[in-house]
Structure 1
C-alpha cells in the first residue's frame, strides 16, 4: 500500500521535508505547499487544496498542528463518508431554453451598444441620412469605439424581434439584440462581422459604432458614423469643376475604393450619396448608404418589371426611379439583381459577367463623369440603364450589346467636347472602365495614377508594381449581393422622409423590414397557487413538496407534481419569517417566526405536528428569527435573528451549540455553500463562517455602505450574490468581487435565488429579473440580463427547481412559471 502523499506536490509525507499540516476542514497538506498556495483577498484565510473550502489560516503554516496519524500511518487514510439518505441530484433544467450558444454570445456581445447609446432629439438639425422617425440622431459614448460624446450617425436595419410578453415576461435589451443576430443566417452574420471589422480597420470606411436595438420599433440597427459633410455638398452634381479639382477628387475616390478592396469587400455599386468628406478633406465610404442604395436598385427593378408587364414602354417610370437615387449600377450587377428577383433565367449572362472588383470601377467612373461632363452624361446613362434593364426583363439580352455600343459612343463624344487632345489617355481609361465585359476593365490603381498625372508627372513611380487582380466574385464579397440585403426572411423597404424631389438633396432614409422569426409564442406558462391569507415570506422545496411560509402564521405544503395543496402546518403564534427543508432519514422542515420560536416538522408524519418547538430568549428589543439555513446530512442548522447573532443548533438534541457574533444589526439572510456559512445583515455587511468549527473567516462590505442593507443572499459553487435595499446586486466569484455592483432593480430587492448559471431577483418594484452568470477562468464573471417578469404585487420570496420558477408575492399568491408548460 502506498504511503499517503501531499495533494499538491504529490510527495509522500515525512517528518522532515514534507510535513503534513492539518487545516480546519480536516484535510492535510505539506507546509511547503501551504506557503506557496495563492491567498484569497481575505486576511488570515486560505482555500484547502483538497476540498477548496475557505478556512482560517495563521501567519505561518508551522502554527498548524502536525497530522501525527499520517506520520505513523501504515495504511491509507480514507475517511468513510457518513451514511446519508439524500436523494440523487436531478439534472438541472434551464428556466428558458438557451437562445444562443455561449460561443456565439462571446463573439457578438461587445458589438451591442448600450440601450441609451442612441437618443432622438427633435431640436437637433437633420444632417445626412441620420434620421429615425424624422428626428435628429445623436450618439453618446458608444461601447466599442472611442469617439466624441455627440456625433451624427446613420442607421441600417438588420432585423426585428418578436417576443412573447404574455404572462408578464419581457426579454431584456441585450437578449432581444442577441436573438435577432442569432436568427440571422450564417451568410448574413459573416457579412455583418466583415462590415463591423472593416469599419475599425480602415479610416476610409465610415466608423462603425456597433449594433443598437430600438425598443420602440423592435428592430436591430447597424450604427455607423455619419460625417456632417457629404461629397455632394462639396462639389455639387452639375457644377463644372476644373481639372485639378477633378483630379484631386478622383484620387480620393480611388483611394477609398482601393482600401475597401484591400479587405476583400466590394460594394457592387456606389452613388454620390455614399461618399462623405472628413475635416481634412479625405473621402470616406458610408457602408450603410451602400446597402440603402442596393435596396433602391431592387425597388427600381421591381417597379420596372411591374410597369413592363402592363406597358410596352417601361422606360419612363424606370428613368424616374434612377434619376431619384442618382446611382449607376453596372450591367453585371443588374443581371445579378434581375436573376435574384426571379424575373427571368439569365444564367448564361450571370455566369459570364460576374460581379467583382471591376464592378466598382464602373460606378466610380460614372461618378467621375458626372462631375466632368455634367447633366448630359447623367441623362444619357439613365436612358441606357433603363433600356438595358428592359431588355433583360424581356429576355432580349442579345440586344444589350448594341445598346452599350451606342451609349459608349455618346459618352466618348461628350468627353471629346470636354477634354482636348492632351487628355486622350484619360479619356480612353474612363471609357475602358465602362466596358461591358468586366474582365477588360482596368484596376483602381491605374485610375489613381491617371488622376495623379493631371496634377503632377513624377520622375519615378513610387507606388511600385501591382499585379492585376482577378475579376472574380469568388475572390471578394459584394455587399449588394450578400445576405444582409437579400435575406429570405426579410424584405427591406426604404422610405423617404421629408418629400425629396428629383434634384440632388441629402437623402433622408429610414429602413423598414419584415419580422424575423422570434421566440415561439405561448412558451412561458404561469400557474397561481392560492391559499395563504397574508404575505408570502419564504419558499422551500424537498421530498416532492413545495413549502410556503406566510405572515398568516402557517406553512402550506403543495405537491410538486400537480401543484395542488396537500397540507397546512399550524402551530406558530407569530408571523413565520423563514423556513428550510432538510433531507435526513426523516425529512424535516424547519421554520422560524418573528416571536423567536423555531418549529421542527417531520415530513411524512400523518399527524402533521411539530416534533420539536424551540424558543430563543425573549427580548422586547429584538424581533425574533429572520433567517434559517441548513445543509442536508449536517449535524447543525442555523438561524439569523434580530439580536444580531447567528446561532448553530444541534440536530441531535436541538440545543444551541454555538453563537456567532459580529454583526451590528439584524441578521436577515443566510446561505450555505462549500463548507462556508454566509450571513447578511441590515448593517450592510456579509460575514463568512467556517462550518467545521464555526469560526469567523472574513467580512465583506463592512467598509462600504453605499448599497445599504443586505436583504438576501444566494451562493452556488464559488459564487456569492448579495442583494441590497437600493436595488443593486454584488457578486463575488472565487472570493474576488465584481468591479461594480449591478443595478438590477429600481428599489429594494427582498429575495434572490441562484441555481447553476441562473440568477433570479425580485423586490419592491414588483418585478422578477432573470439573469445568467457565466463564470470564466480565474474570477471573471459575465452577467447577462435575459429578461423580466412583471407582477401585480411586491415579490417577497423566490425559489427555482427543475426548470420551474416559484415566486411568492405580498398579495398572498404564489406564481409558478415554467417554459412550455
Structure 2
C-alpha cells in the first residue's frame, strides 16, 4: 500500500512534522507547506493538487483547518520507502497544438518578418535569383534565391498567417533538404568568407520561400567577365608579360581559394562553381555566394532534363562559365530521369570535386577565352576509363598554360593541371592550391603564412549541394504531390469522413489545420444577430436577438426545433449537463428560461423566472453554471447573481463591478467575471466572496471587456479595442492587439485561441510560454462576410455565429 504524502514536499504525513490539514476543496497539505505557499489574494491560497482558490486565513494559520484523521491513521499503519521526488501529481495535459514546439523553436529565428524585404525586380520562376532591398538596414540590398514553393493550398476559407505559411513550407520539405538548409544558414554565420545569409522570407503565401543573402558590390563575372584574354595576354603571337596583372590574378586567386576553403570547413561541397559564385565584400575580400551557387546548380540540374547528352552539356557549361567536375556530371546524368542508362562514376564525390571547378575558375581568369572548351568530353567509357578526348583536353590546357606563362610560373601550371586529374583522389587539396599561390606572392624567405595553414580530412566527403535535396527539390515538387496533398486525397477518399457528421478529436482538428480549413455547413434559420452558441446532448443550440433559441442536430446539422417564449433579445446561452440535461437562456428583459431537451421537445420552457429590474437595468448579458448546481447571471445593473437550479431561488448577489457584467466563466471552483468597466473579477464559489480584481487601469485607459475564456492556469480577456490580455495563475503576462476593432467572441481549446469581432475576421492564435513570458503565435485567419458575434470550438469543429443571422461550421 502506498503511503499518504503531501502533494508539495512529497513527505509522508505524520503527527509531528507533517500534519495533514484539509482544504475546502477536499485535498490535504502538510502544515509546513501551507505556510510556504504563496498568498496572491487576501485570505486565499491555490490548492497545489487541483489549483483551486480556497479560503485560508493567514493570521489564524494552518491550525484553523481540520486535521485529516483518516490520513494520519493510514500513515501510522503503513511504512514504505520515501517516494521519488521526480514523481508528479497530475498526468500531463496534452493540448492540441498547431506547431511542433521543437521544430518551431529551431526555425523561428531564421524567419524574417514579412515587411523586412521589398522585391525590386520580379524573378523568373524558381530558377533565377531576384534582387531586393532590406528594410532593416540603410541602403542594404540583398539577393533572393527561391528555396521551395509553398504547398498548393487546398480549397479553403482559411488563410494562414505569414509565419504559419513559412513553418508549413519548411515542414513540407523532406528531411534531407531541411538539413542542407540548416547547414547553409549556420555556416554563413560562422564563416566570414561566405556571404551572410540573413534568413528565410516570402513575398506572399502563394510565392516561393526565399533564402535572403547579402548582396556584395560585384561578383567576379561582372568585374572580369569582359577580360576575354584573361590576366595574361598574347600580342600578335609574341609573349607579353605584365607583372602587375599576374600579381592581381594571384591576389584574387588566393581569395577564391580561401572562400572555397571556408565552404569545406563547414562540410559543404558546391559541386559546380563559376565566376558569378564569388563576390567582393566591402573590404575587397572574396566571398562565396551560396545563393548563386545553389541557383547555378539548380539551373544545371534543370537543363539536364532538356539536354541529357553529355557532350552538349559540357559545351553549354563552358560557354556559360559553369564548371562541373567529371564525377559530378556523371552522377547528375545518372540521376536525370531522361538518362536512365547513364552509369555511376567509379570516383567518389567530395572536396576534390570542388578542386576541379576551382581550377577551371582560376584558368578562366588567367587565360580567358584561350581555355579550351569545345573539345571537352568527360564521359567514362567501357571499363571505367575516361575518354581519350578528355585526356587530350587536359594536355591542351597544359600546352596553353605553358605558352602563356612560360617557365617562371611552372609550379602554378603544374598544380592547376593536377587539379584537372580525372581521379579526385589524385587532385591536390584547396589548401595546396592556396599555398602555391601564397608562395608566388611571398618569397620563401619571407614566408610567414605557414602557421596559418588549415587542413581538411581527405577521407571526409562533405555534403554536395548540386547533388543535394535543395537542387532537386523544385523539380520533384513540380512533378509529385506533396505530403499534404496526399493526406488531403486520403481524407477525401475515406467513406466515413467528417463531412458525414463524425467528430474529430481536438488533436486531429489542430493537426489538420496545416491543410486548411473548409466551411462544411451554413446554418440559417434565425432572423437577427446570433448572440450565443452551446453544445451538448448531441445538439447545437443557438440564441439570437430574434428572441428564439434554435436546436440543430450534430449529425447532419438539420434544424430540429425552435424554443419560443422570450419577449426580449436573447443575450446569453448555456448548456447544463445533468441527469436531466437542460438549456438555459437569458434575455435583455431579465428573463431566465430553462428548456428541457429530452425528445420530443416541448414548446413551453421547463421553468422560467425574471430578475428584478429598475430604470437603470438592461437585463442579462451573460450566463455560467457551476458544478454545485448554481446558475450565475451577469447583469446590466452591474451585479452577478447566484441562483439555485433546484428551486430558482436567489442565493446571493455579488457586487463590485461598476458597469455591465458582460461575460462569465467558471473554472476550478472560481467564478471569473468581465465587465464594461475594463476589469476581470475573481469570486470564490464556496462562499461567493471576492478574491481579486485583474486589469485595473486608469480611467483614460479603460477598455470594456467583452469576452473571457479560462483554461486551468490561463485567463484571456478580450477588449473592445481589439486587444487581448493574458494572465497565468492570476499574474499578468502580456497584452496583444489581434483585431482592428472590438473582439465580440472568443473560444479556447488547449493552446489554441479563436477570436472574432468587428473587423469581420476570425483569427487563430497559439498561446505558449512559461510563467514569465507569453508567446502569441498568429496561425491564420478566416475572412468573414459579417461581424463574428459568437464562437465555439469543440469536438474537432469550429462553430461561428454572425451578425448576418447565419451560423457556419468549419472543419
- Residues 592 and 598 in structure 1, CA contact (< 8 A), matched pair in contact too: yes
Residue 356 of structure 1 deviates from its aligned partner by 0.9
| Residue aligning to 1:627 | 622
- Residues 536 and 550 in structure 1, CA contact (< 8 A), matched pair in contact too: yes
Question: CA offsets per residue over residues 42-78 of structure 1, 9 Å max, x none?
Answer: 67653211221134555x464455334436987569x
- With over 3 angstroms needed to count, the CA separation of the structure-2 counterparts of 1:188 and 1:792, relative to structure 1, is same
- Indicate yes or no: 2:260 matched with 1:257: yes
| Residue aligning to 2:726 | 731
d(CA) in 2 for partners of 1:130 and 1:45? 64
| Residue aligning to 2:439 | 453
Q: Report SS of the residue matched to 2:118.
A: strand
Residue 696 of structure 1 deviates from its aligned partner by 2.2
- Indicate yes or no: 2:51 matched with 1:52: yes
- With over 3 angstroms needed to count, the CA separation of the structure-2 counterparts of 1:786 and 1:12, relative to structure 1, is closer
| Residue aligning to 1:603 | 597
- Residues 804 and 817 in structure 1, CA contact (< 8 A), matched pair in contact too: yes
- Indicate yes or no: 2:466 matched with 1:476: no
Q: Report SS of the residue matched to 1:610.
A: coil
- With over 3 angstroms needed to count, the CA separation of the structure-2 counterparts of 1:462 and 1:604, relative to structure 1, is same
Alignment of 1:323-722 (within 5 A): 323=319, 325-344=320-339, 350-377=344-371, 380=372, 382-385=373-376, 388=377, 400-456=386-442, 457=444, 458=446, 462-463=450-451, 469-470=457-458, 475-487=461-473, 490=476, 516=482, 518-519=484-485, 520=488, 524-604=518-598, 606-631=601-626, 633-703=627-697, 708-722=703-717
| Residue aligning to 2:797 | 804
- With over 3 angstroms needed to count, the CA separation of the structure-2 counterparts of 1:619 and 1:360, relative to structure 1, is same
Residue 443 of structure 1 deviates from its aligned partner by 0.6
d(CA) in 1 for partners of 2:558 and 2:663? 29
d(CA) in 2 for partners of 1:527 and 1:130? 38
- Indicate yes or no: 2:778 matched with 1:785: yes
- Indicate yes or no: 2:32 matched with 1:32: yes
Residue 2 of structure 1 deviates from its aligned partner by 9.6
d(CA) in 2 for partners of 1:285 and 1:459? 26
d(CA) in 1 for partners of 2:477 and 2:11? 68
Question: CA offsets per residue over residues 723-782 of structure 1, 9 Å max, x none?
Answer: 2222223333343444441x3322221100112333222112222223334x45556554
Q: Report SS of the residue matched to 1:425.
A: helix
Q: Report SS of the residue matched to 2:261.
A: helix
Residue 298 of structure 1 deviates from its aligned partner by 2.8
- With over 3 angstroms needed to count, the CA separation of the structure-2 counterparts of 1:431 and 1:527, relative to structure 1, is same
Residue 245 of structure 1 deviates from its aligned partner by 2.1
Residue 482 of structure 1 deviates from its aligned partner by 0.4
- Indicate yes or no: 2:176 matched with 1:173: no
Q: Report SS of the residue matched to 1:279.
A: coil
- Residues 715 and 727 in structure 2, CA contact (< 8 A), matched pair in contact too: yes
Q: Report SS of the residue matched to 2:458.
A: coil
Q: Report SS of the residue matched to 1:7.
A: coil
Residue 203 of structure 1 deviates from its aligned partner by 2.2
Question: CA offsets per residue over residues 669-709 of structure 1, 9 Å max, x none?
Answer: 11111222111112222222222222222322213676822
Q: Report SS of the residue matched to 1:338.
A: helix
- With over 3 angstroms needed to count, the CA separation of the structure-2 counterparts of 1:657 and 1:437, relative to structure 1, is same
Q: Report SS of the residue matched to 2:323.
A: coil
Q: Report SS of the residue matched to 2:276.
A: helix
d(CA) in 1 for partners of 2:286 and 2:416? 20
- Residues 736 and 779 in structure 1, CA contact (< 8 A), matched pair in contact too: no
Q: Report SS of the residue matched to 2:686.
A: coil
d(CA) in 1 for partners of 2:94 and 2:559? 24
d(CA) in 2 for partners of 1:744 and 1:515? 35
d(CA) in 2 for partners of 1:432 and 1:76? 86
| Residue aligning to 2:180 | 191
d(CA) in 1 for partners of 2:621 and 2:795? 27
Root mean square deviation of aligned Cα: 3.5
| Residue aligning to 2:810 | 817
- Residues 180 and 518 in structure 1, CA contact (< 8 A), matched pair in contact too: no
Question: CA offsets per residue over residues 472-511 of structure 1, 9 Å max, x none?
Answer: 6xx310000001112386368xxxxxxxxxxxxxxxxxxx
d(CA) in 2 for partners of 1:118 and 1:56? 56
Unaligned stretches of 5+ in structure 2? 76-92, 232-243, 493-516
- Indicate yes or no: 2:190 matched with 1:201: yes
- With over 3 angstroms needed to count, the CA separation of the structure-2 counterparts of 1:154 and 1:226, relative to structure 1, is farther
- Residues 275 and 283 in structure 1, CA contact (< 8 A), matched pair in contact too: yes
Alignment of 1:758-777 (within 5 A): 758-773=752-767, 775=768
d(CA) in 2 for partners of 1:22 and 1:216? 57
Unaligned stretches of 5+ in structure 1? 78-91, 142-146, 309-313, 493-512
- Residues 130 and 152 in structure 1, CA contact (< 8 A), matched pair in contact too: no
- Residues 753 and 800 in structure 1, CA contact (< 8 A), matched pair in contact too: yes
d(CA) in 2 for partners of 1:138 and 1:169? 31
| Residue aligning to 1:248 | 251
- Indicate yes or no: 2:269 matched with 1:266: yes
Comparing 257-266 with 695-704, greater Cα deviation is found at 695-704
- Residues 159 and 490 in structure 1, CA contact (< 8 A), matched pair in contact too: no
- Residues 676 and 703 in structure 2, CA contact (< 8 A), matched pair in contact too: yes
TM-score under structure 2 length normalisation: 0.84
- With over 3 angstroms needed to count, the CA separation of the structure-2 counterparts of 1:361 and 1:3, relative to structure 1, is closer
Comparing 363-372 with 612-621, greater Cα deviation is found at 612-621
